[in-house]
């Protein structure tokens, strides 16, 4: 019998042993390659086969008013999604879905046949629709948790707050202006399916949103409501095209209200797109006679004119070259104070001729005309104020009484606030702080003085002149308050239509502040294209009065000493 371990067997045994070792090394090397060096690549390929990742809408921060009342919040909602690769019968699923969601089955089927891992069926579905989908329990469908922006006060402050899209990004207004602060980084979820890609096994969170900053405004919800109601009343009464108002604290530049009418509900966006426009910063118009306040400031600051300086107003008609300028009522000799009080255009031109166009231009620029206010709201325009070197004689005259330059409601409010603030222009302020979810202050905004427009003495003198506008023989008598002195000015400006001044379309305005001695609020009211009457003292002044009365009462500002008795006497005299 031969020895199995003899000389002929050993080489073969050794060869088999080496071969097996080599095979083991090859297998081990392959395993290392697959599990170590190509692990990420293979895992990604596997995830494409049995899963997908989607990002949930970022959780936006809250927008608060100055007293931390919610103006814009994000609510949890469900959206309906489909995974086309998981669908066995797209046609049948489309018909069932169309019946449940009341939509076109053909369009649904086209979407369900897409060669994609994930498609949206209905974003921000209603509670009834979500229940139907749950009850149907269709394969290849899932409910995705998202966030939807909600505005609890509906129309109040809608144009200022703006809108968000379905993807949670700001589209208009403060939502757009502060999108980087309000928008978080969102959550991510992994969808896990079975091997046949027909059934959703689970949704696994990959990343949770850490939240975003909450914005605290200077706006006061109560003052905003007061302003909107007053503007709406005048727009409806005079069948006007639109109206707007701004309420500011002249000491800080804080905006307490920004009213627009017509309104819209940002929770249900319908109607005209232009109703969503924040007219207080986007609409330019000629200031009309409200500009005479700044003419008076320029004249007094120059030292060439004082409140008692007399000017002949040509009995109502004045020729400048080949152009005839008229006053609403004829006047002879008037002082600077009287020119502002009765709003004489001819008197304003005469004052402008004395001080010269360069001085008037520099004063208007100093008050902020022709410049952005710095409030950083989308769509804001700077207005138009051309350099004095480009003014012809007639243009220098018309700019003196508010024609030939354009401004905005916010710009006017900020300029009048500078008169109330002893001549210092404050930057309009809309946001006072940014806080986190726990209420901890992340960022604080402080009032900012931009420049001094005129001296304190000039500002106080102009304020005294503005008080005469509210007297019984002034143009702003309808703005008189009971218990508080008022400084204000009426404005009535023709609109430019097709390059020419219209004979029947006007901008009516009233801007002022109260109380006169220690101003707490500046209010600018502008009514666009009123009918029946177009004078600012008739159309806009009553809205100014209502806003001031209710706001000063809300702010607990005590009546001026002796003013209640004086205004009561004036009311009795007026009735007589």
- More confident call, 60 vs 303: 303
> Tokens at residue 240, please?
């006007």
Residue 10 lies in a domain: no
Task: Say which CATH number the domain at 179 has.
Answer: 3.90.1310.10
Residues 149 and 284 occupy one common structural domain:
no
Mean pLDDT confidence for 457-461: 97
293 and 157 share one domain:
no
9 within a domain of the structure (yes/no): no
Closest by alpha carbon to 489, among 475, 501, 502, 499?
475
Interatomic CA distance for residues 295 and 235, integer angstroms: 29
Q: Give the pLDDT confidence of 1-10 residue by residue, as tens digits.
A: 455 555 566 7
Phi, psi of 528 (to 5 degrees): -100, 120
Domain assignment present for 344: yes
Res. 315: pLDDT tops 80 = yes
Which sequence positions are flagged as catalytic? 289
Cβ-proximal residues to 156 (8 Å cutoff; 6+ apart), any chain: 221, 224, 225, 228
What mean pLDDT do residues 261-287 have? 89
CATH of the domain at 556: 3.40.710.10
Say whether both 509 and 541 belong to one domain. Answer: yes
Q: Rounded to the nearest 5°, which phi and psi values hold at 55?
A: -100, 130
* Integer Cα distance of 36 and 28 in angstroms: 11
Inform me whether the pLDDT recorded for 509 exceeds 70. yes
Which strand (E) or helix (H) includes residue 347?
A: helix 345-355
Q: Are residues 206 and 256 in the same domain?
A: no
Residue 7 lies in a domain: no
Q: What is the pLDDT of residue 71?
A: 96
Mean pLDDT throughout 353-373? 96
The structural domain count of the chain equals 2
Q: Which of 17-31, 180-194, 529-543 has the lowest mean pLDDT?
A: 180-194
15 occurs within a structural domain: no
The whole-number pLDDT of residue 576 equals: 37
Within its chain, how far is the Cα of 256 from the centroid? 13
DSSP classification of residue 197: S
Q: What is the DSSP letter of 246?
A: E
| pLDDT of 56 | 57
Whole-Å CA distances, 368 to 210, 294, 384, 470:
41, 11, 11, 25
Q: Looking at 14-23, 89-98, 185-194, which range is the least confident one?
A: 185-194
Strands 317-320 and 310-312: unpaired
**Residue 60, pLDDT above cutoff 90:** no
Check pLDDT > 70 for residue 109: no
**Which range, 139-148, 263-272, 478-487, has the best average confidence (pLDDT)?**
478-487
Indicate the average pLDDT of the chain: 85
Let me know if residue 195 belongs to a domain: no
Q: Is residue 411 part of a domain?
A: yes
Pair (403, 430) in one structural domain: yes
How do residues 151-161 score in pLDDT, each as one tens digit?
999 999 999 99
What is the structure's pLDDT at 571? 47
φ, ψ dihedrals at 129, nearest 5°: -65, -40
pLDDT score of 194: 58
Confidence of residue 381 (pLDDT cuts 50, 70, 90): very high
Is the same domain home to 372 and 249?
yes
- Residue 282 and residue 208 share a domain: no
For residues 272 and 347, state if they share a domain. yes
| pLDDT confidence of residue 134 | 77
pLDDT at 128: 73
- CA dist 488 and 293 (Å) reads 9
Q: 576 or 175: which carries more pLDDT confidence?
A: 175
Q: Is residue 3 part of a domain?
A: no
C-alpha distance from residue 255 to each of 83, 136, 224, 242, 516 (Å): 49, 52, 10, 21, 19
The kind and range of the H/E element at 142 are: strand 141-150
pLDDT band at 575 (very low <50, low <70, confident <90, very high): very low
Render pLDDT for 234-244 as a digit per residue (tens, 0 to 9): 999 999 999 99
User: Is residue 465 located within the same domain as residue 542?
Assistant: yes
The residues near 174 (Cβ < 8 Å, ≥ 6 apart) are 63, 160, 161, 162, 215, 217, 377, 430
281 and 208, same domain (yes or no) = no
The predicted structure's pLDDT at residue 306: 96
Tell me: pLDDT of 196 over 70.
Answer: no
Q: What is the C-alpha to C-alpha distance for residues 535 and 508, in angstroms, rounded to an integer?
A: 6
Categorize the per-residue pLDDT at 569 as very low, low, confident or very high, splitting at 50, 70 and 90.
very low
**The pLDDT value given to residue 384:** 96
pLDDT for the residue 205: 55
Q: Are strands 63-64 and 214-217 parallel, antiparallel or unpaired?
A: parallel
Tokens of 427: 């930057």
Question: Which tokens hold the place of 264?
Answer: 């819209």
Using pLDDT thresholds of 50, 70 and 90, give the confidence band for residue 225: very high
Q: Which domain holds residue 489?
A: 221-575
More confident residue, 437 or 33: 437
Asked if pLDDT for residue 282 goes beyond 70, the answer is yes
Q: Spell out the SS3 assignment of 412-462.
A: HHHHHHHHHCCCEEECCECEEEEECCCCCEEEECCCCEEEECCCHHHHHHH
Instruction: For residues 212 and 231, state if they share a domain.
Output: no
**E-assigned strand segments in 343-418:** none
Same domain, 233 and 171: no
Backbone angles phi, psi at 421, to 5 degrees: -100, 35
């Amino acid at each position: 019998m031969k020895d199995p371990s003899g000389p002929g067997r050993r080489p073969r045994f050794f060869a088999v042993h080496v071969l097996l070792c080599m095979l083991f090394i090859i297998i081990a090397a392959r395993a290392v390659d697959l599990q170590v060096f190509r692990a990420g690549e293979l895992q990604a390929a596997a995830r494409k086969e049995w899963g997908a990742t989607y990002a949930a809408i970022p959780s936006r921060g809250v927008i608060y008013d100055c007293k931390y009342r919610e103006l814009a919040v994000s609510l949890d909602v469900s959206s309906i999604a489909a995974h086309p690769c998981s669908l066995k019968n797209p046609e049948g699923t489309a018909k069932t879905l169309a019946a449940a969601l009341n939509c076109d089955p053909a369009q649904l089927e086209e979407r369900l046949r897409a060669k994609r891992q994930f498609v949206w069926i209905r974003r921000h579905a209603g509670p009834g629709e979500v229940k139907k989908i749950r009850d149907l329990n269709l394969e290849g469908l899932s409910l995705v948790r998202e966030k939807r922006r909600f505005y609890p006060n509906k129309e109040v402050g809608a144009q200022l707050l703006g809108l968000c899209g379905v993807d949670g990004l700001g589209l208009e207004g403060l939502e757009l202006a502060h999108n980087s602060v309000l928008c978080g980084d969102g959550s991510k979820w992994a969808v896990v399916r079975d091997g046949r890609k027909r059934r959703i096994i689970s949704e696994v969170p990959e990343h949770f949103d850490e939240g975003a900053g909450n914005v605290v405004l200077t706006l006061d919800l109560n003052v905003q409501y007061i302003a909107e109601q007053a503007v709406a009343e005048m727009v409806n009464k005079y069948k006007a095209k639109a109206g707007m108002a701004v309420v500011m604290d002249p000491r800080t530049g804080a905006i307490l209200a920004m009213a627009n009418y017509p309104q819209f509900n940002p929770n249900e966006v319908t109607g005209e797109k232009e109703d969503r426009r924040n007219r207080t910063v986007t609409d330019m118009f000629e200031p009309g006679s409200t500009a005479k306040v700044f003419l008076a400031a320029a004249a007094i600051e120059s030292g060439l004119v004082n409140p008692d300086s007399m000017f002949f107003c040509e009995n109502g008609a004045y020729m400048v070259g080949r152009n005839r300028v008229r006053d609403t009522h004829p006047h002879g000799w008037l002082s600077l104070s009287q020119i502002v009080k009765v709003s004489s255009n001819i008197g304003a031109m005469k004052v402008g001729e004395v001080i010269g166009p360069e001085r008037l231009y520099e004063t208007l620029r100093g008050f902020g005309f022709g410049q952005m206010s710095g409030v950083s709201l989308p769509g804001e325009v700077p207005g138009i104020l051309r350099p004095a070197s480009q003014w012809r004689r007639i243009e220098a005259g018309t700019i003196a009484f508010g024609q030939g330059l354009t401004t905005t409601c916010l710009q006017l409010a900020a300029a009048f606030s500078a008169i109330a603030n002893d001549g210092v222009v404050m930057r309009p302020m809309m946001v006072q702080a940014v806080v986190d979810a726990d209420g901890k202050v992340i960022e604080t905004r402080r009032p900012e003085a931009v420049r001094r427009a005129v001296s304190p003495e000039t500002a106080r003198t102009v304020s005294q002149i503005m008080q005469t506008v509210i007297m019984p023989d002034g143009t702003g008598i309808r703005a008189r308050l009971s218990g508080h002195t008022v400084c204000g000015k009426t404005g009535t400006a023709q609109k430019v239509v097709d390059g020419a001044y219209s004979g029947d379309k006007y901008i009516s305005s009233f801007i002022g502040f109260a109380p006169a001695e220690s101003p707490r609020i500046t209010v600018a009211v502008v009514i666009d294209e009123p009918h029946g009457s177009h004078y600012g003292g008739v159309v806009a002044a009553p809205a100014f009065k209502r806003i001031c009365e209710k706001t000063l009462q809300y702010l607990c500002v005590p009546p001026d000493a002796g003013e209640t008795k004086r205004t009561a006497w004036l009311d009795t005299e007026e009735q007589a």
